[in-house]
Amino acid sequence: MIPGTFEYHQPDTVQAALALLNELGDDARVLAGGHSLIPMMKLRLAMPEHLIDLRLINDLKFIRIESEMVHVGAMTTQHELIDHAELAQRVPIIRETSLQIGDPQIRYQGTIGGNVANGDPGNDMPGLMQCLDATFTLLGADGEREVPAREFYEAAYFTARDDMEILTSIRFPVSSGGYAYEKQKRKIGDYATAAAAVLLRKADDGSSCAFASIAMTNLADTPIYCEDASQLLQDQGVTDSSIEAAVDSCIASIEPVDDNRGPVEFKKHAAAQITRRAIKTAWSRT
Amino acid sequence: MSASAPTMKERQAALKGLGTSRKRVEDARFTQGKGNYVDDIKLPGMLYGDFVRSQHAHAYVKSIDTSAALALPGVIAVLTAKDLEPLNLHWMPTLAGDKQMVLADGKVLFQGQEVAFVVAESRYIAADAIDLVQVEYEELQVLVDPFKAELPGAPVLREDIADATEGAHGPRRHPNHIFTWEMGEKEATESILDSAPVVAEEMVYYHRTHPCPLETCGSVASMDKVNGKLTLYGTFQAPHVVRTVASLLSGIAEHNIRVVSPDIGGGFGNKVGVYPGYVCSIVASIVTGLPVKWVEDRMENLMSTAFARDYWMQGKIAATEDGKILGLWCHTTADHGAFDACADPTKFPAGFMNICTGSYDIGTAYLAVDGIYTNKAPGGVAYRCSFRVTEAAYFIERMIEVLAIKLNMDAAELRLKNFIRKEQFPYHSALGWEYDSGDYHTAWNKALEAVKYTELRAEQAEKVKAFKAGETRQLMGIGLCHFTEIVGAGPVKNCDILGMGMFDSCEIRIHPTGSAIARLGTISQGQGHATTFAQILASEIGIPADDITIEEGDTDTAPYGLGTYGSRSTPVAGAATAMAGRKIRAKAQMIAAYLLEVHDNDVEWEVDRFVVKGAPERFKTMQEIAYASYNQAIPGVEPGLEAVSYYDPPNMTYPFGAYICVMDIDVDTGTTSIRQFYALDDCGTRINPMIIEGQVHGGLTEALAIALGQEIAYDELGNVKTGTLMDFFIPTAWETPNYTTDYTETPSPHHPIGAKGVGESPNVGGVPCFSNAINDAFRPFGLTHTHMPHDHWRIWQTANKLGLHD
């Protein structure tokens, strides 16, 4: 549990961080909250020779809500997300999810950027970002580019981000309607055994479903955006039978693995129950 | 007398003696981060050690190349078994009469085993260097299932003793077999099983887990080559025994070894044994002449130091048709890992497993335990229990439930029918113990009434109906447990560790101004000894607890004792404290009588003073007596006021308790929610009710952890699957339910103040209570028994097998 030797850098601008990253190349890693990278380093599963800590870069810490779009700086902590009154009102699922990440100490340190950029299938924010149809901004030597969250994750710890890019900000639309983030875990601080993010909006007729979005966490080596299930609820409305059909569709799209949280059959069954609950809760909040 | 003179009641209260919820005096430093733990110790020139550990569970070590590590600047030495062999320290004796490799001697027998010890100028260099040590292994077939240990073709693990047909505990029938221990009457029990109207059978597995104290194990050894003295700081629950063992192993005279246990951040049995790290830090300090620190990290702690439990208990229980128990039979397969390093009194290779008749009057019983080697870490410590008492309590409390199912009887009623009755004490159990005291019916009825048991059962029946009607996916479980412990080891005539009788001790000095210091042979690891032992003394000698310093853990100053584990501190050292206090009081009586110019027998004790009989206005307080003992020449009395007592308990003590848990279970997710937990403890005389409550809360939370998910699991190749706190379950405040605590008070008849010990009761009683709640929830659907740990997926699997997801 003692990391190898590394140089520690603390740039105070994004440009300086990017310059360092490009100068140091593959030997460098960008450090946000450190909850994934530092344990990996202590286990010597990661042995970067240079750590570029982004914490002094104030430009990466912001929450702005402008013209129905939320912009969040990558170094915004989960605590800051929880604490932001307007965000809690305009996109309440952010607060509900953040409160289920780690524990208060972790949330003071953990950042949204680190959570989405690392590509750890256990992290909660990637699934949520897919549910919200968020867009990530990546800054590289050639300037900025944008990647939708739904296209960002390739495999566990593999993402569309190039090693020489820094994920600087995230944007997603405000969401009216019902929401739910349901997460089953073994204890506080644990990754999900199964988790589901659901957004639903009622149509003007007061009964049919105008909008649905479902994504799932830690049930495959990437987050799973359940496009078919979302479309199904939108087409058929939210009824007992459509919920079951949507849940079946979700479960068909996941690929959980057997681990200490349980065997595959259990995970599928629990995930179905979690998703069912999330849909019902979200619909009850519309 | 002035109007403001305190009343006797006020004087009593001022002492903060027995029965007072005195605040813990230790907490000021602990809550401010001012504790002094082993890892806080920094000595000039200190070096740091780290282990190269085996990634294989079973392999020959073909070669070890240390050259690259030694070439790293800052590396001072790399020790291997070859370096320890000339000192005869490459192996060391275990507490259980076996021996254990200090560093891999030709082969490794479990994942995480110590292979080489790197000593470097900094902790970081040591960590870098272990990666540079090249070890060549030849992998061998791995044995993880104790039931396959004696099958043809099973690999022989302990080649060093493969041909030994006799072990420390009698004959061995196979190279992977350690011992067979038998108690009770085999034939008589089996004949009852053959003829009894009802016999219930079950295999009850108490899985492998780990005490996992917050502070891991560690030591700092400092060999002073000038004066030949070795000082050893370490996480030791038994510092005096460590000194003796260190002397015997190293050849350094015992007076030249000083062992210090500083503050210890939890022990729970993990810090009773002797670990290779301690030995290596000593050798490294002797070799280098500099202090050497070794502190393991969390993963090393979970992987290599002292697991607990891992007992497969095959049980048979016989009864009449109306539920009178006739006999109990148990065969245990004990998975001991690679070395038998169990921490038990020498004559008890399976600890006090023979308390497994529990709280019940069972006339005939038989117990056999087979110890087996596997490719797992050694240990078998008493994790917050008195030497396998937890396994015994879990076994009998599960068997009672299994029998209740067979009889189609309420399990609470079955217990009432079979409890040892109050008038039967002292009670001689079929497996050889003399229970000192108890009143089980009173405790049990109080518990049933407190939770409104009848109403709970009615509610549960409604819930089952609703479940079957498809109205809910939740089940309700009612967990019952009535446990009897055996603690306070123990009488020297049958209890020893490495030949040292399990007495304990207290030495008291009263200062001239009437304050005092007392030193004991035990060592607190969070139990609050500095608080409670002062309270015992306050009541015995009339000096306020606030004026009494308690010291433990430094073998240069404290009297010899066997340490703190197995709930033995209060029953043994607490008794020594009271007895030493009584010696002080006896001398004080002579001094008081002299000062008051009356005969010794003409004064009597009153709270904090001696009073002339019939003349209450004539008295001498302990403060006055203490001062006189130092400044007056009293004929026939030595100056000073000191006493020492070494206490050899005449018997164990037998705390008991009645626990009830109400739990809701979601059959689809396997999640549980504890609605209510009621814990009634009878620990005899209660010294500090607040500390008792804290002990019960802590122990129940550990029990919750064990029952609901905490385990050390291995895959079929012997890889540890639960090596970090991500997977090894430690509950936080969030997972911890509210507990309702209650008590009855049945003093121990043989203990000077009637106290029995309480630290371990909640773990011993809590585990079966939580587990019984899970099992009980599924009883209406045909379940007889399901193994712990009851984590989400296993509960789900139980529901699944019962068809509850169809």
Among A186, A267, A269, beta carbon nearest to B729: A186
pLDDT, tens only, A229-285: 999 999 999 999 999 999 999 999 999 999 999 999 999 999 999 999 999 999 999
Identify the residue with better confidence: A232 or B385. A232
Question: Domain map of chain B by residue range?
Answer: 8-35+504-647, 42-140+216-264+271-304, 394-488+652-801
Interface check for B728 against chain A (CB to CB < 8 A): the answer is no
Query: Which chain A residue is nearest to residue B668, measuring alpha carbons?
Result: A270
Q: To the nearest 10°, the Cα dihedral for B589, B592, B594, B598?
A: -90
Query: Which chain A residue is nearest to residue B713, measuring alpha carbons?
Result: A260
Q: How many CA atoms lie within 13 A of B266 on its CB side?
A: 15
Q: Pairing state of beta strands B504-510 and B75-79? A: unpaired
Q: What is the mean pLDDT of chain A?
A: 96
B792 neighbourhood in chain A, CB within 8 Å: 184, 186, 193, 261-262, 266, 270
Rounded to whole angstroms, how far apart are CA atoms B781 and A71? 53
A260 neighbourhood in chain B, CB within 8 Å: 713, 721-722, 727
Interface check for B806 against chain A (CB to CB < 8 A): the answer is no
Which residue, B644, B51, B105, is CA-closest to B304? Answer: B51
pLDDT on residue A1:
83
Identify the residue with better confidence: B95 or B405. B405
Q: What percent of chain B has pLDDT over 90?
A: 96
Identify the residue with better confidence: B273 or A6. A6
> Per-residue confidence at B4, pLDDT binned at 50, 70, 90?
confident
Rounded to whole angstroms, how far apart are CA atoms B387 and B365? 20
Q: Does B159 qualify as catalytic in the annotation?
A: no
Best residue in A100, A251, A260, A265 for a mutation probing chain B (most B CBs within 10 Å)? A260
pLDDT, tens only, B427-471: 999 999 999 999 999 999 999 999 999 999 999 999 999 999 999
pLDDT, tens only, B413-426: 999 999 999 999 99
CATH 3.30.1490.20 fits A7-53, yes or no: no
> Per-residue confidence at B566, pLDDT binned at 50, 70, 90?
confident
Q: From the options 3.30.70.580, 3.40.630.30, 3.30.365.10, 3.60.10.10, give the CATH code of B394-488+652-801.
A: 3.30.365.10
Phi first, then psi: what are they for B418, rounded to 5°? Answer: -115, -5
pLDDT of B81 higher than 80: yes
pLDDT of B281 higher than 80: yes
Give Cα separations from B431 to A115, A274, B406 (angstroms): 58, 50, 25
Among B131, B298, B668, beta carbon nearest to A270: B668
Rounded to whole angstroms, how far apart are CA atoms A6 and B303? 28
pLDDT of B760 higher than 90: yes
Q: What would be the CATH architecture of the domain defined by A59-173?
A: 2-Layer Sandwich (3.30)
Any alpha helices (H) in chain A, and if so which ranges?
14-24, 37-42, 78-83, 85-90, 92-98, 104-109, 112-117, 125-131, 149-152, 227-236, 240-253, 264-284
Give Cα separations from A164 to A22, A29, A247, B202 (angstroms): 6, 9, 39, 61
Amino acid making up residue B466: A
- Cβ within 8 Å of residue A93, ≥6 positions away: A128, A131, A132, A175, A179, A180, A181, A197, A199
Q: Does B769 qualify as catalytic in the annotation?
A: no
Q: Are B663 and B774 in contact (CB under 8 A)?
A: yes
Sign of the C-alpha dihedral, residues B245, B250, B253, B255? negative
Q: Which class does domain A178-284 fall in?
A: alpha beta
What's the gap in Å between the CA of B121 and the closest CA on chain A? 15
pLDDT, tens only, A137-157: 999 999 999 999 999 999 999
Quick one: DSSP state of residue B435? E
pLDDT, tens only, A156-177: 999 999 999 999 999 999 998 9
Q: How many CA atoms lie within 13 A of B85 on its CB side?
A: 8
Catalytic residue among B243, B309, B384, B415: B384
The average pLDDT across B564-581 equals 93
The average pLDDT across B372-396 equals 95
Q: Give, to the nearest 10 degrees, the angle between helix B529-541 and helix B575-596.
A: 30
The average pLDDT across B554-582 equals 94
Which residue, B737, B730, B731, is CA-closest to B662? Answer: B737
Task: Give the 3-state secondary structure of B518-579.
Answer: EEECCCCCCCCHHHHHHHHHHHHHCCCHHHEEEEECECCCCCCCCCCCCCCHHHHHHHHHHH
Phi first, then psi: what are they for A79, rounded to 5°? Answer: -65, -40
Among A263, A265, A270, beta carbon nearest to B669: A270
pLDDT on residue B567:
86
> Per-residue confidence at B490, pLDDT binned at 50, 70, 90?
confident
Counting Cβ atoms within 10 Å, is residue A179 exposed (0-12), middle (13-18) or buried (19+)?
buried
pLDDT on residue B442:
98
Rounded to whole angstroms, how far apart are CA atoms A134 and A127? 10
The average pLDDT across B298-325 equals 97
Query: Which chain A residue is nearest to residue B670, measuring alpha carbons?
Result: A270
Give the CATH superfamily of B42-140+216-264+271-304: Aldehyde oxidase/xanthine dehydrogenase, a/b hammerhead (3.90.1170.50)
Catalytic residue among B356, B385, B481, B683: B385
The average pLDDT across B218-241 equals 96
pLDDT on residue B3:
62
Rounded to whole angstroms, how far apart are CA atoms B413 and B458? 15
pLDDT, tens only, B426-436: 999 999 999 99
The average pLDDT across B301-305 equals 96
Amino acid making up residue B486: I
The average pLDDT across B26-49 equals 96
- Contact call for B796 and A269, based on CB within 8 A: yes
Which residue, B540, B541, B515, B519, is CA-closest to B529? Answer: B519
Rounded to whole angstroms, how far apart are CA atoms B712 and B720? 7
Amino acid making up residue B297: D
A189 neighbourhood in chain B, CB within 8 Å: 732
Q: Are A218 and A267 in contact (CB under 8 A)?
A: no
Question: Domain map of chain A by residue range?
Answer: 7-53, 59-173, 178-284
Interface check for A92 against chain B (CB to CB < 8 A): the answer is no
Classify A25 as helix, strand or coil: helix
pTM of the complete model beyond 0.95: yes
pLDDT of B505 higher than 70: yes
Q: Pairing state of beta strands B364-372 and B177-184? A: antiparallel
Q: Does B384 qualify as catalytic in the annotation?
A: yes
Quick one: DSSP state of residue B653? B
The average pLDDT across B623-646 equals 96
The average pLDDT across B276-280 equals 97
> Per-residue confidence at B498, pLDDT binned at 50, 70, 90?
confident
Among B726, B792, B797, beta carbon nearest to A193: B792
Residue B244, token pair as written in the block? 């003796």
> A92-96: long-range contacts at Cβ-Cβ below 8 A with a sequence spacing of 24 or more?
A92/A179, A93/A128, A93/A131, A93/A132, A93/A175, A93/A179, A93/A180, A93/A181, A93/A197, A93/A199, A94/A128, A96/A179, A96/A180, A96/A181
Q: Which helix (H) or strand (E) holds B242?
A: helix B239-250
Which residue, B248, B235, B232, B251, is CA-closest to B291? Answer: B232
pLDDT of B634 higher than 70: yes
pLDDT of B149 higher than 70: yes
The average pLDDT across B151-161 equals 97
Q: From the options 3.10.20.30, 3.20.20.70, 3.30.1360.200, 3.30.365.10, give the CATH code of B8-35+504-647.
A: 3.30.365.10
pLDDT of A178 higher than 90: yes
Interface check for A186 against chain B (CB to CB < 8 A): the answer is yes
pLDDT, tens only, B694-726: 999 999 999 999 999 999 999 999 999 999 999
pLDDT on residue B2:
52
Interface check for A122 against chain B (CB to CB < 8 A): the answer is no
Taking one residue from A and the other from B, the number of pairs with CB-CB distance under 8 angstroms is: 71
Chain B 731-790, residues with CB within 8 Å of chain A CB atoms: 731-732, 734-735
